Amino acid sequence: MGGKRRSYDAPFREGAVRIVLETGKSAAEVARDLGVHEGTLQTWVHRARPAWPGSVQ
Protein backbone atom coordinates (compact mmCIF):
# COMPACT_ATOMS: atom_id res chain seq x y z
CA MET A 1 0.00 0.00 0.00
CA GLY A 2 2.54 2.63 1.09
CA GLY A 3 5.44 3.66 -1.05
CA LYS A 4 8.96 4.61 -0.18
CA ARG A 5 9.13 7.88 1.72
CA ARG A 6 11.00 10.62 -0.17
CA SER A 7 13.14 13.18 1.55
CA TYR A 8 13.89 16.63 0.20
CA ASP A 9 16.93 18.69 1.09
CA ALA A 10 16.62 22.14 2.66
CA PRO A 11 17.45 24.12 -0.52
CA PHE A 12 14.69 22.30 -2.44
CA ARG A 13 12.13 22.92 0.33
CA GLU A 14 13.13 26.59 0.63
CA GLY A 15 12.89 27.05 -3.13
CA ALA A 16 9.45 25.49 -3.27
CA VAL A 17 8.21 27.70 -0.43
CA ARG A 18 9.72 30.77 -2.11
CA ILE A 19 7.81 30.00 -5.32
CA VAL A 20 4.52 29.84 -3.41
CA LEU A 21 5.11 32.97 -1.34
CA GLU A 22 6.70 35.19 -3.98
CA THR A 23 4.70 34.30 -7.09
CA GLY A 24 1.25 33.94 -5.59
CA LYS A 25 0.81 30.52 -7.22
CA SER A 26 -1.22 28.07 -5.18
CA ALA A 27 0.55 25.37 -3.22
CA ALA A 28 -1.37 22.80 -5.26
CA GLU A 29 -0.07 24.20 -8.55
CA VAL A 30 3.53 24.41 -7.37
CA ALA A 31 3.33 20.92 -5.86
CA ARG A 32 2.14 19.50 -9.20
CA ASP A 33 4.91 21.33 -11.05
CA LEU A 34 7.59 20.00 -8.69
CA GLY A 35 6.19 16.49 -8.20
CA VAL A 36 5.65 16.96 -4.47
CA HIS A 37 2.54 15.97 -2.54
CA GLU A 38 0.34 19.03 -2.01
CA GLY A 39 0.01 18.43 1.74
CA THR A 40 3.77 18.23 2.10
CA LEU A 41 4.28 21.59 0.41
CA GLN A 42 1.49 23.17 2.43
CA THR A 43 3.24 22.02 5.61
CA TRP A 44 6.53 23.58 4.48
CA VAL A 45 4.77 26.88 3.67
CA HIS A 46 2.93 26.90 7.00
CA ARG A 47 6.17 26.36 8.92
CA ALA A 48 8.07 29.00 6.91
CA ARG A 49 5.43 31.73 6.88
CA PRO A 50 6.05 33.22 10.37
CA ALA A 51 9.73 33.73 9.57
CA TRP A 52 9.13 35.01 6.03
CA PRO A 53 10.02 38.70 5.54
CA GLY A 54 6.88 40.77 5.17
CA SER A 55 4.52 38.08 6.41
CA VAL A 56 1.56 39.10 8.53
CA GLN A 57 1.19 37.37 11.86
State the 10-residue block means of pLDDT for the chain, 57 residues long.
82 96 95 97 92 61
The per-residue pLDDT for 50 is 77
The per-residue pLDDT for 6 is 86
SS3 breakdown of the chain: % helix, strand, coil, rounded to 5? Answer: 65, 0, 35
As a whole number of angstroms, the distance between CA 53 and CA 40 comes to 22
